[in-house]
Amino acid sequence: MPWYQFINNDMDICDSDSYQILEKAPDTVDGPYLAAIFADEIPGDPERRPDLDGTPGLLFYIIRALAKRKGQPFSHFPPVPLEVRMSEVPANEIKK
């Protein structure tokens, strides 16, 4: 599963221009802004968009992280580990 780091703050995960795909976790962990999610890809999608419905627990983790303003370190929520990374600055201000 890849990491999806947001480029802007629209959280438009259906638009491949609004995120970049990373092979390793970004450095950001805590803060009020959603910076990145760790998710399965939509099967057979040439743009490799994240599969929100097919990644168990991901929406729960996004909502919980936004409410607490902290990323979840990780969870063994079957059948895949999940992470959500938060940032002190908006995603479009994170240094690449």
pTM (2 d.p.):
0.76
pLDDT truncated to tens, each residue of the chain (96 aa)?
899 988 876 667 778 888 899 988 888 878 888 888 888 899 999 989 988 888 877 887 888 888 888 876 555 555 555 678 888 888 777 765
The per-residue b/e assignment along 68-87, b for 16 or more CB within 10 angstroms, e otherwise, is eebbbeeeeeeebebbbbbb
Strand ranges (E), 1-96 = 3-6, 19-22, 33-38, 84-87
Residue 84's DSSP bridge partners are 37
Q: Are 72 and 61 in contact (CB under 8 A)?
A: yes
